[in-house]
């Protein structure tokens, strides 16, 4: 197996890092690639006001997740070690874990040209091959010469990876841009959201008065990347349904953006939020984590993002439904049910019904949910039964 090792402060992890990682994965035919945030880099101090190691790790995890590359993951190896983060120690630790595998250390041009001056470079090159990124044509000759010299001097296998078509920006430059509320295009949207929500790099976003783009980024930062297609689909479906039935389109959009923002919290975290925000749970809800994200998501929408009650209520009821739902509640319930990424036997029929008879569509959705839960031997929440019964009567 071939394993790539790409270390750095990732302060913050930007598109340049991610594109380089993906390129290296393919160019070197790597089976795995570890992004490894450093704790205390030996060659430079982290600038004043830098995020904590935990924040840099969290941003790197989010960035890697949004690459949709199964071979790329994040390691906290260096953050778990005390003291300076020497690459020689990291390489040897990974070599001990994967003694039969071929290791490749990835680095930028400056690092590649100066590796002989690092702490105990012989240990590095004894355990790993080297790959340096050339981001401009005028770097190619000098990097090729360095590769030949490292081969002659240390017996190292070194390769130059040419990334000429990728926009180059340093983390230092990006931090300066972020101070001026610029440079966001160099970040994945969920990383942008994490920065805004935690006030990193001198940002001071008012989370209760975000524009739609920033609200979307914040929501995306709270979930797994695999959920984003569903959230985007629900947002756009909610807008279309709102337009069809005369609901507030902006409220529908924001409800769609936030409806699953706490989807990936574990049961204990969900229960903690319920206690924090005074959410009263029945016996089933105390044990069924899948029922809780609607309630905690509504609380986050209200208390963190300052959403009006109509949006919070739509999020609160989007999983179970309830008797006598408002128009916006019905719109979000159906948008979540029939957004374009949904695939189940009756989805096309349900989509058509949603645009011809919204109440009939919600009723059919409740009936399908009840039947599905019964088939799987799962308890059905009373609110779903009450929603079905109310719609049948009215």
List pLDDT tens digits, range 220-233.
Answer: 999 999 999 999 99
| pLDDT score of 167 | 62
pLDDT in tens, 242-278: 999 999 999 999 999 999 999 999 999 999 999 999 9
User: Alpha-carbon distance 366 to 380, whole Å?
Assistant: 10
pLDDT in tens, 129-181: 999 998 877 788 999 999 999 999 999 999 999 887 666 788 999 999 999 99
The predicted model scores a pTM of 0.93
**Would you say residue 81 has pLDDT above 90?**
no
Q: What is the largest CA-CA distance in the chain?
A: 85
Q: Which is more confident, 165 or 30?
A: 30
**Would you say residue 42 has pLDDT above 80?**
no
pLDDT in tens, 189-208: 999 999 999 999 999 999 99
| pLDDT score of 348 | 96
Name the pLDDT band for 324 (thresholds 50, 70, 90): very high
| pLDDT score of 44 | 63
**Would you say residue 84 has pLDDT above 80?**
no
Q: Which is more confident, 46 or 24?
A: 24
pLDDT in tens, 347-375: 999 999 999 999 999 999 999 999 999 99
In the chain, what percentage of residues exceed pLDDT 70?
98
Name the pLDDT band for 321 (thresholds 50, 70, 90): very high
**Would you say residue 6 has pLDDT above 70?**
yes
| pLDDT score of 43 | 63
Name the pLDDT band for 82 (thresholds 50, 70, 90): confident
Q: What is the dihedral of CA 124, 125, 126, 128, to 10 degrees?
A: 80
| pLDDT score of 295 | 97
In the chain, what percentage of residues exceed pLDDT 90?
88
Report, as an integer, the average pLDDT of 6-29: 94
**Would you say residue 338 has pLDDT above 90?**
yes
Name the pLDDT band for 53 (thresholds 50, 70, 90): very high
| pLDDT score of 128 | 97
User: Alpha-carbon distance 388 to 367, whole Å?
Assistant: 7
| pLDDT score of 46 | 74
Report, as an integer, the average pLDDT of 67-81: 93
């Amino acid at each position: 197996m071939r394993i790539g090792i790409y270390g750095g402060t990732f302060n913050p992890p930007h598109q340049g890092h991610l594109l380089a990682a993906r390129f290296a994965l393919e160019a070197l035919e790597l089976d795995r690639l570890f992004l490894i945030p450093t704790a205390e880099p030996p060659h430079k101090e982290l600038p004043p006001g830098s995020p904590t190691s935990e924040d840099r790790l969290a941003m790197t995890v989010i960035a890697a997740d949004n690459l949709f590359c199964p071979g790329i993951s994040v390691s906290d190896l260096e953050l778990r070690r005390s003291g300076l983060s020497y690459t020689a120690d990291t390489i040897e630790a990974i070599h001990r874990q994967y003694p039969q595998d071929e290791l490749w250390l990835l680095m930028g041009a400056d690092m590649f040209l100066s590796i002989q001056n690092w702490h105990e470079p012989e240990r590095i090159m004894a355990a790993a091959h080297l790959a340096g990124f050339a981001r401009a044509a005028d770097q190619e000759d000098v990097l090729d010469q360095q590769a030949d010299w490292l081969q002659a001097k240390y017996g190292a296998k070194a390769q130059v990876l040419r990334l000429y078509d990728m926009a180059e920006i340093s983390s230092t430059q990006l931090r300066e841009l972020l101070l001026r509320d610029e440079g966001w295009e160099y970040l994945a949207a969920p990383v942008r959201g994490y920065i805004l929500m935690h006030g990193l790099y001198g940002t001071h976003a008012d989370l209760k008065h975000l524009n739609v783009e920033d609200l979307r980024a914040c929501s995306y930062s709270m979930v797994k990347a695999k959920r984003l297609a569903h959230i985007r689909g629900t947002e756009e479906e909610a807008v279309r349904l709102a337009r069809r039935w005369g609901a507030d389109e902006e409220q529908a959009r924001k409800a769609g953006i936030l409806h699953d923002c706490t989807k990936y919290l574990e049961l204990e975290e969900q229960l903690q939020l319920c206690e924090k925000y005074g959410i009263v749970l029945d016996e089933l809800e105390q044990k069924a984590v899948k029922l809780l994200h609607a309630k905690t998501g509504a609380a986050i929408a209200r208390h963190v993002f300052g959403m009006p009650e109509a949006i919070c209520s739509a999020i609160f009821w989007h999983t179970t439904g309830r008797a006598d739902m408002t128009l916006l509640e019905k719109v979000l319930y159906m948008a979540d049910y029939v957004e374009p990424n949904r695939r189940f036997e009756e989805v096309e029929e349900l989509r058509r019904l949603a645009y011809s008879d919204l109440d009939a569509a919600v009723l059919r959705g409740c009936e399908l949910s009840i039947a599905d839960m019964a088939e799987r031997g799962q308890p059905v929440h009373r609110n779903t039964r009450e929603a079905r019964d109310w719609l049948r009567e009215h």
